[in-house]
């Protein structure tokens, strides 16, 4: 790789941060537009779920493949293709006039994000060779990604009010176009190692996960005895275990299951998955509660999330400092516990609730989310051999995204199983009461899952060193050896 000037390095970091911010923002910004999409495109709850799931499922299913393609054909090339596809998908979503077209456009966005995301951490490792410089770069990259998740609801409301629901997709187009031009100019050409495409693993994971989520989303709407739902559930039960067996036997797998032998890496994976399961699964339904039940405007519903955003900004650097000083156990366990407590607390409020009453819930939710995001990235950087960092990063991001997919599907199934009618009508009508009752049950389920994850992470990290050192400085007795690259074929 050519020698880069400090200015060029700054451009690389700005490019990677901007594109990650865009991809993370799109995960959540659409939530504030869901009520308007439902009204104007005549989509029910299950249709709105697919507007969210269409992006998340494709992104999660193809993220590991994106890492493999980057390693084989060049990270810069695949990154540029990903940004271009994501931008095109955003424009197509803004032009959609039916639910089916919107879901298809969201899937194209997910494909683009799956191609651009895996190379980010690998590019950072190659560009920033000094350990301290690299740590600052990764910290900023992680913080900007978390900020994208937090700012989405705040930006989404005013955009919907001013430009309609399609505006939440059009805001990506200028950002994507600028990111594409900047990436073409700034990103260096990196040569990767040749690797075989794990076509069997990719096919099994994509079809298995798609079948699982379809069954979870459509089961409550069409009944669990529906032939299509039962067929998809059976396919998922068969294909996903088969995927694990294939990955164990493949010489160069898309998912290296040895990753989970390190308790710290396993804890990071569990934390990423479960936070997404609880928080993103819940965030799908909060705009429906605020706008359709409490009668808030999209702008007001978006601005209500500002305290959560502020807490994420505060917690992200704090969790990084805690991880460097005490290891990942304290921030991860504390973050999961705060997220669990916030969901449990939110389940105590109904259609008569007032904003000051549950403000503390948003503060706790933001603090918990901020406490978990940065330690996951730092743990991957510190405990994985550089040659395997791309796969490790892709694995964690895949599990994080899958957590959101499964969270929306499972908590949505819990909620819709209680629905007795449409939300429109009297605030005291049966549809609204059933929605609030179902939301409370979904929130409690999410809280219980996060509490269990906090206990599991605490157990996994009970013997982890207090301050994990970089790979070239850690003594063998202090931590497990980094995951090595697999031998060539």
pLDDT band at 245 (very low <50, low <70, confident <90, very high): very high
Tokens of 435: 């929605």
- Cβ atoms 457, 323 nearer than 8 A: no
pLDDT at 388: 66
Report the interhelical angle of 199-222 vs 227-249 (nearest 10°). 160
pLDDT band at 161 (very low <50, low <70, confident <90, very high): confident
Q: Cα–Cα distance between 111 and 131 in angstroms, integer?
A: 32
pLDDT band at 473 (very low <50, low <70, confident <90, very high): very low
Read off the pTM: 0.75
Q: Is the pLDDT of residue 243 over 80?
A: yes
Q: Pick 379 or 463 by higher pLDDT.
A: 379
pLDDT at 311: 86
DSSP string, 54-82: HHHHHHHHHHHHHHHHHHHH-HHHHHHHH
Q: What is the mean pLDDT of residues 288-312?
A: 78
Q: Is the pLDDT of residue 454 over 70?
A: yes
Q: What is the pLDDT of residues 256-291, one digit of tens each?
A: 787 788 898 899 999 989 988 887 777 767 777 777
Q: Is the pLDDT of residue 470 over 70?
A: no
Q: What is the mean pLDDT of residues 154-183?
A: 88
Distances (CA, A) of 485 to 159, 390, 391, 424, 481: 46, 11, 10, 56, 12
pLDDT band at 458 (very low <50, low <70, confident <90, very high): very high
Q: Is the pLDDT of residue 108 over 90?
A: yes
For the ranges 21-25, 198-202, 281-285, 440-444, the maximum mean pLDDT occurs at: 440-444
| Long-range Cβ pairs for the range 235-244 (8 Å, 24+) | 235/207, 235/208, 235/211, 236/208, 236/209, 236/211, 236/212, 238/208, 239/204, 239/207, 239/208, 239/211, 240/204, 240/205, 240/208, 240/209, 240/212, 242/204, 242/208, 243/201, 243/204, 243/205, 243/208
Tokens of 484: 């090595």
pLDDT at 431: 66
Q: Is the pLDDT of residue 319 over 50?
A: yes
């Amino acid at each position: 790789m050519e020698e880069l000037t400090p200015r060029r390095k700054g451009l690389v970091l700005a490019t990677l941060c901007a594109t990650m911010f865009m991809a993370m923002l799109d995960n959540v910004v659409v939530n504030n537009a869901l009520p308007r999409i439902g009204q104007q495109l005549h989509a029910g709850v299950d249709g709105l779920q697919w507007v969210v799931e269409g992006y998340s499922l494709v992104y999660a299913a193809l993220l590991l493949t994106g890492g493999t393609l980057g390693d084989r054909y060049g990270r810069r090339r695949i990154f540029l293709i990903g940004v271009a596809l994501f931008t095109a998908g955003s424009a197509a979503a803004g032009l959609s006039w039916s639910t089916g077209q919107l879901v298809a456009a969201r899937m194209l966005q997910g494909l683009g994000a799956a191609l651009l995301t895996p190379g980010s951490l690998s590019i950072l490792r190659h560009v920033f060779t000094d350990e301290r410089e690299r740590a600052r770069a990764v910290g900023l990259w992680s913080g900007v990604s978390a900020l994208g998740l937090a700012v989405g609801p705040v930006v989404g409301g005013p955009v919907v009010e001013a430009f309609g629901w399609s505006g939440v997709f059009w805001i990506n187009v200028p950002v994507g176009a600028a990111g594409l031009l900047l990436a073409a100019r700034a990103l260096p050409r990196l040569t990767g190692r040749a690797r075989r495409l794990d076509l069997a693993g990719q096919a099994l994971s994509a079809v298995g996960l798609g079948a699982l989520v379809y069954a979870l989303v459509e089961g409550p709407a069409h009944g669990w005895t529906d032939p299509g739902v039962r067929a998809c559930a059976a396919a998922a039960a068969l294909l996903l275990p088969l995927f694990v067996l294939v990955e164990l036997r493949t010489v160069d797998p898309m998912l290296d299951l040895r990753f989970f032998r390190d308790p710290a890496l396993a804890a990071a994976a569990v934390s990423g998955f479960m936070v997404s399961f609880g928080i993103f699964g819940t965030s799908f339904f909060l705009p429906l509660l605020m706008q359709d039940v409490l009668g808030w405007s999209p702008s007001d519903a978006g601005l209500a999330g500002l305290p959560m955003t502020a807490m994420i900004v505060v917690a992200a650097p704090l969790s990084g400092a805690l991880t460097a000083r005490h290891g990942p156990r304290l921030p991860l366990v504390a973050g999961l516990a705060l997220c669990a407590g916030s969901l449990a607390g939110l389940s105590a409020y109904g259609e008569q609730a007032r904003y000051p009453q549950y403000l503390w819930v948003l503060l706790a939710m933001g603090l918990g989310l901020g406490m978990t995001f940065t330690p996951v990235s730092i743990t991957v950087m510190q405990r994985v051999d550089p040659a395997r960092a791309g796969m490790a990063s892709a694995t964690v991001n895949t599990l994080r995204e899958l957590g959101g997919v499964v969270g929306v599907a499972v908590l949505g199934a819990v909620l819709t199983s209680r629905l007795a009618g449409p939300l429109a009508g009297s605030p005291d009508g049966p549809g609204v009461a059933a929605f609030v009752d179902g939301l409370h049950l979904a929130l409690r389920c999410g809280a219980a899952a996060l509490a269990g994850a906090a206990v599991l992470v605490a157990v996994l990290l009970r013997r982890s060193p207090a301050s994990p050192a970089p790979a070239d400085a850690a003594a063998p007795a202090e931590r497990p050896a980094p995951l090595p690259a697999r031998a060539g074929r």
